[in-house]
Amino acid sequence: MKSRRPHQVLLAPAVIALLDGLYREDGNPFLFIGSRRASASPDVMMQTLRRLGHAGVTVHGFRSAFSDWAHEQTAHSNHTIELSLAHVVGSEVERAYRRSDMAQKRRRLLEDWAKFCTSPAVQKAEGKIVPMGRGRS
Q: How large is the average pLDDT for residues 94-112? A: 91
How many residues can be counted in the chain?
137
pLDDT band at residue 58 under the 50/70/90 scheme? confident
pTM over 0.95: no
- Kindly indicate the confidence band of residue 25, based on its pLDDT and cuts at 50, 70 and 90: confident
Strand partners, 122: 129
DSSP for 6-35, please give it.
--PPPPPHHHHHHHHTS---TT---SS--S
Q: Around 95, how many Cα atoms within 13 Å sit in the side-chain half-sphere?
A: 7
Q: Whole-angstrom Cα distance, residue 130 to residue 137?
A: 8
